[in-house]
Structure 1
Amino acid sequence: MAGTVIIGAGQAAASMAARLRALGDTRPITVIGAEPVAPYQRPPLSKAYLLGDMALDRLLLRGADFWADQDITLCLGRTVTGIDRAGRQVLTDDGAALGYDALALTTGAVPRRLPAAIGGDLGGVFTVRTLADVDTMAPDMRAGRRLAVIGGGYIGLEAAAVGRKLGMEVTLIEAAPRILGRVASAETADMIRRLHVAQGVRIVEGAAVDRLIGTERAEGVRLADGREIPADLIVVGIGIDPDVALARDAGLNIDNGIAVDGTGRTSDPAIWAAGDCASFPHDGRRLRLESVGNAIDMGDLIAANMLGAEKPYQPKPWFWSDQFDAKLQIAGLNAGFDQVVRRPGDGEHGGSVWYWRDGRLIAVDALNDARAYMVGKRLIDAGRNAAPDLVGDPATDLKTLLK
Structure 2
Amino acid sequence: MSQEPQARETFVIVGASLAGAKAAETLREEGFGGRVVLIGEEHERPYERPPLSKGFLLGKQERDKAHVHPADWYGEHDVELRLGVRATGLDRGAHRVELADGERVRYDKLLLATGSSPRRLDVPGSTLQGIHYLRSMADSTALREALEHGGRRVVVAGAGWIGLETAAAARTYGNEVTVIEPEPTPLHAAVGPEVGGLFADLHRAHGVDLRLDQGVAGFWGAGQVSAVVTSGGQEIPADVVIVGVGVRPNTELAESAGLEVSDGVLVDQSLRTSDPDVFAAGDVASAYHPLLGKRIRVEHWANALNGGPAAARAMLGEAVGYDRIPYFFTDQYELGMELSGVAAPGEYDDVVFRGDVPGREFLAFWTLGGRVVAGMNVNVWDVTGDIQAMIRSGEPVDAARLADPKVALSDLAT
- 2:83 paired with 1:83: no
1:303-352: CA deviations, max 9, x gaps? 11111113222122211111112111101122411121122337722222
1:133 matched residue in structure 2:
139
- 2:249 paired with 1:238: no
Which is worse superposed, 11-20 or 282-291?
282-291
Deviation, structure 1 residue 154: 0.4
Write the letter of the residue equivalent to 1:310: A
2:311 matched residue in structure 1:
302
Q: Distance in 1 between matches of 2:358 and 2:156?
A: 28
- 2:318 paired with 1:312: no
2:41 matched residue in structure 1:
34
Deviation, structure 1 residue 269: 1.2
Q: Distance in 2 between matches of 1:85 and 1:402?
A: 46
Write the letter of the residue equivalent to 2:323: Q
2:379 matched residue in structure 1:
368
Q: Distance in 2 between matches of 1:123 and 1:47?
A: 23
Q: Distance in 1 between matches of 2:361 and 2:219?
A: 36
1:185 matched residue in structure 2:
192
Which is worse superposed, 198-207 or 240-249?
198-207
* Matched-pair contact (CA < 8 Å) for 1:346–1:369: no
1:59 matched residue in structure 2:
66
Q: Distance in 1 between matches of 2:206 and 2:142?
A: 26
2:332 to 323, 330, 340: 323
2:282 to 275, 281, 297: 275
Matches within 5 A, 1:2-401: 2-115=9-122, 117-141=123-147, 142-282=149-289, 283-335=292-344, 336-345=347-356, 348-370=359-381, 373-401=384-412
Deviation, structure 1 residue 192: 1.3
2:5 matched residue in structure 1:
none
Which is worse superposed, 315-324 or 340-349?
340-349
1:197-217: CA deviations, max 9, x gaps? 111111111112221111311
Distance 1:181 1:346, change over 3 A: closer
TM-score normalised to structure 1 length = 0.96
Give the superposed CA RMSD: 1.6
For the residue of structure 1 that corresponds to 2:190, the secondary structure is coil
* Matched-pair contact (CA < 8 Å) for 1:191–1:350: no
Write the letter of the residue equivalent to 1:144: G
Write the letter of the residue equivalent to 1:118: P
Which is worse superposed, 368-377 or 38-47?
368-377
Q: Distance in 2 between matches of 1:103 and 1:303?
A: 10
For the residue of structure 2 that corresponds to 1:40, the secondary structure is coil
Which is worse superposed, 105-114 or 255-264?
255-264
Q: Distance in 2 between matches of 1:2 and 1:203?
A: 55
How many residues in Structure 1 have an aligned counterpart in Structure 2? Answer: 402
Q: Distance in 2 between matches of 1:5 and 1:372?
A: 38
% identical aligned pairs: 36
Write the letter of the residue equivalent to 1:360: R
Deviation, structure 1 residue 372: 5.0
Q: Distance in 2 between matches of 1:348 and 1:369?
A: 12
* Matched-pair contact (CA < 8 Å) for 1:187–1:342: no
